[in-house]
Amino acid sequence: LSKFIESARENVYSNIEKIEEKEYYEASSAQKRLYTLHKFEDGNTAYNMPRILELEGKIDKERLENVFNRLIARHEVLRTSFEIIDDQIVQRIHDKVELNIEYIDNIDYKNSVCTKEENIKILVEEFVKPFDLSKAPLLRVCLVRLEETKYIMMFDIHHIISDGTTMGIATKELAELYAGKELEPLRIQYKDYAEWQQELLRSERIKNQKDYWIDRFSNDIPVLNMPYDYERPAIQSFEGDSLSFIVDMETTKKLRMLAKETGSTIYMVLLSAYTIFLSKYSGQNDIIIGSPISGRPHVDLENIMGMFVNTLVMRNYPEGSKLYVDFLVEVKENCLKAYENQDYQFEELVDDLKLRRDISRNALFDAMFVLLNIDMQEISIEDFTLKAYIAESKTAKFDLNLTAIEKEENIYFTLEYSTNLFEKEAIKKMICHFKRILEVISDNKIIQLSEIDMLAKDEKVKLLKEFNDTEADYPINKTIQELFEEQVQKTPNNIAITFKEEYLTYKELNEKANKLARILRNSGVNKESIIGIMLDRSLEMIIGVMAVIKAGGACLPINTEYPQKRIDYMLGDSRTNVILTESKYIINPNKDAVVDEIAIGIKDEDRIIINIKDESIYEGISNGNLDVINTSEDMLYVIYTSGTTGNPKGVMVGQRVLNNLIYHDYLKTNIDFSKKLLQFSNISFDAFFHEVLVSLLKGGELCIAGEEERKDIVKLFNFIDKNQIATVNLPAALAKFIFSDKDYADKFPKSIDHLITTGEQLIISDLLKEYIKENKLYLHNHYGPSETHVATTYTIDILKDIKSIPSIGKPIINTKAYILNEKYNLQPIGVVGELYLSGDCLGIGYLNRPELTTEKFIQNPYEQGKKMYKTGDLAKWMPDGAIEFLGRIDNQVKIRGFRVELGEIEVELMKYEDIKDAVVIDRKGSNGSNYLCAYLISDKELKINNIKNYLSKEMPEYMVPSYFMQIEEMPLTTNEKVDKRALPEPEGSINTGVDYEVPRNKVEEKLVEIWSEVLGIKKIGINDSFFELGGHSLKAMTLISKIHKETNKEVPLKELFKSPT
């Protein structure tokens, strides 16, 4: 069978014949792609292939130079240059090319402070320079004397004429020629192979291979979404670094045994492990990895220098439910099929798939895996020896490139990475996790993929113990009313609450609440009875809340702006029998008209309705404190939030949750809650209870803003200034809006020392950053779903750099956070998972929804007998124990396979000079695909094309919204969050913002003329995109060439991609 296969492959290649001499020849597929990549940016050395050899002995420099020139004469590819002729990339072979070896006598380096390694590093950095592909040879050599008989020889060759095997051939033949050996003549040259390859690709013989690869990628092509440390640059950069590591002898032995037992190879085993590693880090079950193959299956190609390497695109599906051994079988089968179809070139696949260009990353894959079996040994040649010198690489062509070399009893790895995406510490952790995967699969081949644990013991200790070391004392068994009454005893005559010109002292508030609480008790209110509260903003609103708490009941806050249908549902679902309200919200069922012409209200349907403003009800009622009939574990309030069924769900939160949060504020923040605090939140928002109680339990003065102040920023500022309020709690959306407008930012009250933000992801504009630094404003970011109230907090450090999208901080006291995968396994630091919360922050559950409570409040696998709440939020741990929030799991935005963080786009839009506020959402088009739509607020009429061009220079193309809408104001929910459902639908087709505009000057006229010639289109305006009109990379190079010819101006290819109009 082996002979048959070898024969079959031989037959495919047997017709590679020497072609007739011509002025120029067609380039191979790989050369065409490398030419395009090289031209993309001037000064690009990413595709240089530098190599260093250490030489020891007596060197004849003239003889060495002669040997190199003989090598150039032997291999035509070393005499080849590249250019574009008739819109085609071609190679031109020169009859004679001379190479002059540069010589540096660096024997005095020992007198410097540099080590040998540092000295060589400097020499290499100075030696490696960009090549001009139009000038041969694409090779340079430098001999450096370090000591009397010790040298390094540096040679640099462009990848377009070389590959790894070529470097080996060059070293071997140089040694043989230097030793005076005669080499067998070459039957064919690289140009013959290139011509044959292009004929093959145009023939029917390759059709089956093409069909295989096209079918392999016929469905949605995934984009690897790793947890990057930095935002991906708009244009791919090749700055990189690498770390090396070794797999020990015992694990190597087990891996080889695993390959033998499963009938696979060590390459397949390592590829499977790398795929699992990428899957666990990205959370994706469809992983694509590039892997090079030599491309030299024919004997006549073995000694030919040139770029033969083809890239095989390995696509595998590491679903968590699969057993490892079964997954390895899949990987093996896919590898064998890929080998069978290796003649179809990667470059052709990219073209045939018609992938939408993305200049921020590679086509099809971002991770590469290479297994090398070459290890250059020391070579002796007459008077000297030579061996390879391994120098560190500072380039990275891919996000991650894992290279493995088998040496005797170990496997040696190098992980090359993009320093524009990853920090070194993150790569170190990745290496530990990859090694752990190798250990697990070598020990247990029947383990489920989801059960493969990457974490070492010390990492688990950090995640479970160090990051969750939050235990703290607080009055855990005291009720809110007891704590309040203790404060009344301390400061009876201090002002407790103010509204407009009215105020109540602590003593007065306590007595009024006591009276109303007794009325509630007399109305049948018992422990955890639910009492509706529907009141305008007033002193009575706070009295009502405190009365319900003192009576032992639970508050059901009802927003007076809710529609009647929602009010009726909440009252019915909660089975509320007692309601605190005022006369204008009481609907008399016996009359057709509504009292005071209010459109909504409370219907008297066998419920006790108490008009809190009716002074007569308080006559003869005692104002003394009541007996406590409830505990700190009992319900404090029920908040109704949106539900997936269409009806809102009631979230029950206990007293202990607020008690714990409040004492976290007292113990762990620098806020003085005994000063004045703004009461801004609507009563139906859980932040309301925090604002009220954190002030009243500390002896502070709670200043209630009226509806006018809540809806008018200038009036709100005046209110804060007048009352000299020190601490305010504002919705994140409102804080974002205020600090996107310089006028508002300049008027922000200077009395404010502390700004607390809640409700949604906080975005810190440049104006807010400046204000924080200049005015020493403390910004506290609070995170927590309604089911836990606040669970994590983060105070911005004014002495450090402030991120535009800050973390949500660390767990508050007596709270534990876990970031887990779908099997409830701990995710490593930096790896995305679902956020789970446990501890004293946990609410009670959902009112009258036991099944939903069981689904969301699950057993904590890391603390026996405890529950944890499944937030549905994506997050990741940061190295310092803070948590980065990444949005909702069920609302993940993907555009053409790319995971998009909408907040990043909003941050960039907010930096645009004329934009005051920006919100970006994803919408679904008529064809079912997602697109981004940006909603903008500005005092000026915005030019969409200018904004698109601005964004294109700051972020990848897929993050630039397809549609922009300028609106007057952002719609808000009653909880002051942006109401994204209320944002208007874009009308008609997607707006590219492009209007036809004629050239305005001679340069634009000339460019339009060139564009028309290259694209074959007559009417082209100055706002039209080259690529949207049908341009591609080859036409782009033709365009650049013609621009240079017509204008004598050099335009880098990347500039066309950045500014395609």
Regarding whether 1008 and 1042 lie in a shared domain, the answer is yes
Q: What is the pLDDT of residue 931?
A: 78
Least confident of 509-523, 626-640, 893-907: 893-907
What span, in angstroms and rounded, lies between the C-alpha atoms of 948 and 958? 12
> End of a domain among 868, 886, 904?
886
Residue 1011 structural domain: 1002-1058
pLDDT at 749 over 50: yes
In the predicted structure, residue 995 carries a pLDDT above the cut 80: no
Does 894 or 47 have the greater pLDDT score? 47
Please tell me the predicted confidence (pLDDT) of residue 2.
41
CATH (domain of 1032): 1.10.1200.10
Give the mean model confidence (pLDDT) for residues 868-872: 95
Asked whether residue 27 carries a pLDDT value surpassing 50, the answer given is: yes
- Can you give the CATH number for the domain in which 34 is found? 3.30.559.10
Which of the listed ranges 761-775, 917-931, 963-977 does the model predict with the highest average pLDDT? 761-775
**What length is written for the chain?**
1061
Q: What's the pLDDT tens digit per position in 836-852?
A: 999 999 999 999 999 99
Mean pLDDT value across residues 229-241: 83
Most distant CA atoms of the chain, gap in Å: 121
Would residue 268 count as lying in a domain? yes
Within this chain, do residues 243 and 346 fall inside the same structural domain, yes or no?
yes
Which of the listed ranges 361-375, 434-448, 1018-1032 does the model predict with the highest average pLDDT? 434-448
Arithmetic mean of pLDDT, 475-498? 97
Give me the number of domains the chain comprises: 5
CATH number at residue 907: 3.30.300.30
Q: What is the mean pLDDT of residues 213-233?
A: 88
At residue 990, the pLDDT reads: 34
350-388 confidence digits (pLDDT tens): 888 877 767 778 889 999 999 987 655 667 777 777 777
132-153 pLDDT, tens per residue?
Answer: 999 999 999 998 888 888 888 8
In the block, residue with structure tokens 């209007």: 995
Is residue 410 a part of any domain in this protein? yes
Of 454, 486, 507, the residue at which a domain comes to its end is 454
Residue 703 lies in a domain: no
pLDDT confidence of 238, banded at 50, 70, 90? confident
Residue 452 scores a pLDDT above 90: yes
Residues 248 and 144 in one domain: no
- 249-280 pLDDT, tens per residue? 999 999 999 999 999 999 999 999 999 999 99
Rounded-to-integer distance, Cα 469 and Cα 668, Å: 13
What mean pLDDT comes out for the span 677-684? 94
Long-range interactions of 773-780: CB distance < 8 A, separation 24+: 773/798, 773/802, 775/750, 777/752, 777/753, 778/670, 778/671, 778/753, 778/754, 779/755, 780/669, 780/671, 780/754, 780/755, 780/756
- pLDDT > 70: percent of the chain: 88
Q: Is residue 81 part of a domain?
A: yes
How confident is the model at residue 198, as a pLDDT? 85
Stretch 646-657: mean pLDDT: 90
Domain shared by 190 and 134, yes or no? yes
pLDDT tens column, 194-205: 888 888 888 887
257/260 Cα distance (integer angstroms): 5
pLDDT at res. 628: 95
Does residue 571 sit within a domain? no
* Amino acid 302: pLDDT: 83
Per-chain mean pLDDT for the chain: 86
* Whether residues 238 and 352 fall in one domain: yes
Q: Is the pLDDT of residue 552 over 90?
A: yes
**Higher-scoring residue by pLDDT: 208, 592:** 208
Q: Does position 595 have pLDDT exceeding 50, yes or no?
A: no
Q: Encode 50-85: b = buried (16+ Cβ within 10 Å), e = exposed.
A: bbbbbbbeebeeeebbebbbebbebbbbbbbbbebe
Instruction: For the chain, report the end-to-end CA distance as a whole number of angstroms.
Output: 58
Please list the residues that pair with 884 across neighbouring strands. Answer: 876
In the predicted model, is pLDDT for residue 590 greater than 50? Answer: no
Domain annotation covers residue 693:
no
What Å distances lie between residue 169 and 143, 166, 181, 302, 306, CA to CA?
A: 19, 5, 15, 9, 10
For residue 802, give the DSSP letter.
Answer: P
166 with 315, same domain: the answer is: no
Residue 949: inside a domain: yes
Stronger pLDDT, 890 or 302, i.e. the higher one: 302
Could you tell me the pTM of the whole model?
0.79
- pLDDT tens digits, 272-306: 999 999 999 998 999 999 999 888 877 778 889 99
DSSP H helical ranges for 390-454? 424-443
Q: What is residue 294's DSSP assignment?
A: -
Q: CA neighbours within 13 Å on the CB side: how many for 911?
A: 11
β-strand partners of 678: 703
In a shared domain, residues 361 and 433: yes
Single residue among 130, 164, 194 that ends a domain in this structure: 194
Is 70 exceeded by the pLDDT of residue 312? Answer: yes
CATH classification of the domain holding 851: 2.30.38.10
182 and 262 inside one domain: no
In the chain, the percentage of residues whose pLDDT exceeds 90 is: 53
- Whether 3 has a pLDDT exceeding 50, the answer reads no
- Domain membership of residue 805 (yes or no) is no
Token pair belonging to 10: 């031989």
Instruction: Supply the pLDDT for residue 968.
Output: 85
Instruction: Assess whether 350 and 294 both reside in one domain.
Output: yes
User: Between these two residues, 587 and 820, which has the higher pLDDT value?
Assistant: 820
- Model confidence at 603: pLDDT above 60: no
User: Do residue 865 and residue 956 come from a single domain?
Assistant: no
Joined together, the tokens standing for residue 647 give 């009806």
Task: Answer yes or no: do 929 and 1049 share one domain.
Answer: no
Position 7 pLDDT exceeds 60: no
In this prediction, residue 110 carries a pLDDT of 55
Residues 1007 and 858 in one domain: no
Which of the residue ranges 176-190, 289-303, 773-787 would you say has the lowest mean pLDDT?
289-303
Task: For 587, list phi and psi in degrees, rounded to 5.
Answer: -95, 125
Alpha carbon distance 865, 878 (integer Å): 28
- CATH code, domain carrying 216: 3.30.559.30
Q: Spell out the alpha helix ranges (H) of 190-321.
A: 190-202, 207-216, 249-261, 266-282
